[in-house]
Amino acid sequence: MAAGQRGTRVGIMVAGTAQLETVESSDELLVAARGRWDITSVAPIEQRLRELRPGPTVAISIDLAQLEGLDTIGAWLLYRTQRDLRVAGFTAEFRNASADHLLLIEEVSANDQPCEIEPSRGSPLLNVIRHVGAGTTDIAAETAELLRFLGNIVAATAHVLARPRRLRFTSLVYHMEEVGLNAIPIVCLISFLIGVVLAYQGATQLRQFGAEVFVVDLVAISILREIGILLTAIIIAGRSGSAFTAQIGSMKVNEEVDAMRTLGLDPIEILVLPRVLALVISLPLLTFIADLMGLFGGGLMAWITLDISPAVYIERLNQSVGLWSFFIGLIKAPVFAFIIAMIGCFEGLKVVGSAESVGQQTTRAVVEAIFLVIVFDAIFSIFFAFVGV
């Protein structure tokens, strides 16, 4: 406090070697820090510092002239006091501080990173209801966006049909090779193994009833109507649907999609439509190959385990399986292909900013595509059962 200024001593507090004195006048509150302010002695002073509340027009001076020692804890208390007083609308300044003390206080100030207190978690039941509500809202919003995207694909398809030269034929052939031709080995292998497993498990169970010959019916109907197309669609969703998302997502991260729009090009027409058409064309062909390999695997296992010769196996196929069992799988294929390609491209265009977003959207694309494929497969099954096919 300036010489000659009269003031009222408000209080003095001593804690070990740390001391705090406050002297208040009509226009100033002087806070004098004395002794050693370190971790062993400042705890009792902390509450007193929090309670400093002068009049609304009073300036505050924090005098450090008689401060003998200061560590990080003491510096933090001094800095926090100044910060809180300033937030409350007061003028608070340090006085007579040594260079070392000011340097330590500035270091503490530079590392002040407030962390919000985590709110109460509340009732577990209410949290579950809240999460269900938020999830439902997200699903509704995602569905609305997906329907708009579907409309964009339909509009782009109409434009290409009106002007066929707009179709990027080279891109279409390239994607047919990627999603169709290159997928044949994995589809053949898995379908063959599934046929083997079905025949083996069926033989084990039907042998108990002397009905081994019905293994042929089990394998044929299961593969042609359900397993062939469903298994192929799931493989393609994991293989090609994820690739569509990653490819388009990487282009979003590199701002190539924005560059297309700047040049007046439609990303739906350039990026999405060739991929959708390539998969719609390729998946029925892959399904046909999967059916053949599944039947071959089942026939081979029936020959090994049940001694059903290939001639008997083929004859039984002709007797037990109609053309509709074969066509049902092929009818589903274009629908599943459209769903997988649309979801893959849709999630790719939703990528924002970083490689992490590419990974997240790729995972979402695979999960959503497989989920929708299974849902539509159930709808098809109910429909065909209703019409008696």
This model's pTM is above 0.95:
no
List every span in the chain annotated with CATH 3.30.750.24: 8-110
Residue 56: predicted pLDDT: 62
62 in Cβ contact with 78 (< 8 Å)? yes
Q: Which CATH class is domain 8-110?
A: alpha beta
Strand partners of residue 32: 21, 63
Q: Which parts of the chain register pLDDT below 70?
A: 1-16, 26, 53-58, 120
Give Cα 265 distance to the centre of its chain: 29
How many Å apart are CA 126 and CA 249, to the nearest integer? 36
214 in Cβ contact with 298 (< 8 Å)? no
pLDDT tens track for 87-123:
777 777 888 888 888 888 888 888 877 777 777 677 7
Contact partners, residue 31, CB within 8 Å, separation at least 6: 20, 21, 22, 52, 60, 61, 62, 63, 81
Local structure of 229: helix, strand or coil = helix
pLDDT tens track for 277-312:
999 999 999 999 999 999 999 999 988 888 888 888
Burial call 124-140: b when 16+ CB within 10 Å, e when fewer: eeeeeeeeeeeeeeeee
228 in Cβ contact with 291 (< 8 Å)? yes
224 in Cβ contact with 328 (< 8 Å)? yes
How many Å apart are CA 340 and CA 370, to the nearest integer? 8
- In single-letter form, the type of residue at position 138 comes to D
Residue 53: predicted pLDDT: 67
Local structure of 39: helix, strand or coil = coil
138-to-39, 135, 141, 145, 147 alpha-carbon distances in Å: 50, 5, 5, 11, 14
24 in Cβ contact with 37 (< 8 Å)? no
How many Å apart are CA 378 and CA 389, to the nearest integer? 14
- Report how many helices (DSSP H) and strands (DSSP E) the chain contains, helices first: 15, 6
User: What secondary structure, in 3-state letters, does 74-105 show?
Assistant: HHHHHHHHHHHHHHCCCCEEEECCCHHHHHHH
DSSP string, 121-138: ---HHHHHHHHHHHHHHH
Burial of 151 (0-12, 13-18, 19+ CB in 10 A): exposed
Residue 287: predicted pLDDT: 94
Inter-helix orientation angle 273-306/323-349, to 10°: 140
- In single-letter form, the type of residue at position 337 comes to A
